[in-house]
């Protein structure tokens, strides 16, 4: 996996900062209440960790790259699934990366990167589309759990991107809430290409756009500038199982 260098490209920030702050506060409170109800312990989103984890963007990228290498060569370790790990995680979590990926059943992040319990915060939406819930979930991982890496993971043959491109070309509306997804992806459509090349190019353009929007969020951008966070775009190839960088 060629994703070794951290990056973030600020563009226009997403709107409604007040709503984002409210959502972030709600997520923090909900996580604490959920922990207390589930295990009968004091609310906590993190606790002293006994397992080492990557603490810098570069270390996090190298760990994901190593896991993807194991996955695509059928040498998975299926780490962090033991009884000891499960017991440790009762009192808190210390994941090292947020992976924002598509909902496609063929691209589960924990498998693609050969990671286990407590290693990743995974946020999934069709076509990696951002809305307030998705943005709040990503921000929660970074701001509350001090995660050093956000990876925006698109993939080959994305159905959401295909639907957006075909709807744009035909002018036909898509059913129910699927049209919302298409509308969000539409600005990334590469009209310089035709046919399958247009769909493929749009997949990459959409990854770049989502990455840039996240990197431009004020709270996240401040961490990028300080070297505490990287926002990286990457793509998973179904044919080879390789994850590679999309700059």
Residue 102 labelled as part of a binding site:
yes
Contact 57, 20 (CB under 8 A): no
Sign of the dihedral through C-alpha 126, 120, 247, 14: positive
Residue 247 labelled as part of a binding site:
no
Contact 212, 224 (CB under 8 A): no
| CA-to-CA separations, 168 to 15, 184, 207, 209, 236, in angstroms, rounded | 25, 12, 18, 18, 25
Dihedral through CA 82, CA 88, CA 93, CA 94, nearest 10? -80
Reference 247, options 195, 211, 218; nearest CA is 211
Reference 13, options 153, 203, 227, 222; nearest CA is 222
Residue positions in the annotated binding site? 102, 104, 155, 158
* Residues making up the binding site for Zn(2+): 102, 104, 155, 158
């Amino acid at each position: 996996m060629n994703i070794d260098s951290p990056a973030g490209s600020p563009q226009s920030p997403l709107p409604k900062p007040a709503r984002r702050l409210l959502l972030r506060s709600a997520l923090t409170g909900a996580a604490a209440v959920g922990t207390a109800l589930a295990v009968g312990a004091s609310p906590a989103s993190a606790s002293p960790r006994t397992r080492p984890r990557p603490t810098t963007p570069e270390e996090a990228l190298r760990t994901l790259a190593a896991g993807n290498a194991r996955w695509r060569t059928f040498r998975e370790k299926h780490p962090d699934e033991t009884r000891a790990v499960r017991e440790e995680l009762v009192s808190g979590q210390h994941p090292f990366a947020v992976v924002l990926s598509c909902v496609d059943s063929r691209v589960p992040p924990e498998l693609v990167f050969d990671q286990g319990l407590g290693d990743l915060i995974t946020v999934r939406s069709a076509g990696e589309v951002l809305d307030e819930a998705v943005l709040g979930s990503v921000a929660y991982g970074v701001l509350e759990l001090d995660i050093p890496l956000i990876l925006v993971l698109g993939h080959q043959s994305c159905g959401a991107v295909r639907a957006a491109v075909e709807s744009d070309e035909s002018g036909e509306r898509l059913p129910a809430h699927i049209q919302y997804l298409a509308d969000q992806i539409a600005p990334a459509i590469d009209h310089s290409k035709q046919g399958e090349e247009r769909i493929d190019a749009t997949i990459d353009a959409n990854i770049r756009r989502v990455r840039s929007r996240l990197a431009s969020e004020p709270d996240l951008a401040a961490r990028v500038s300080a070297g505490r966070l990287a926002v990286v775009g990457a793509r998973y190839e179904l044919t080879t199982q390789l994850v590679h960088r999309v700059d």
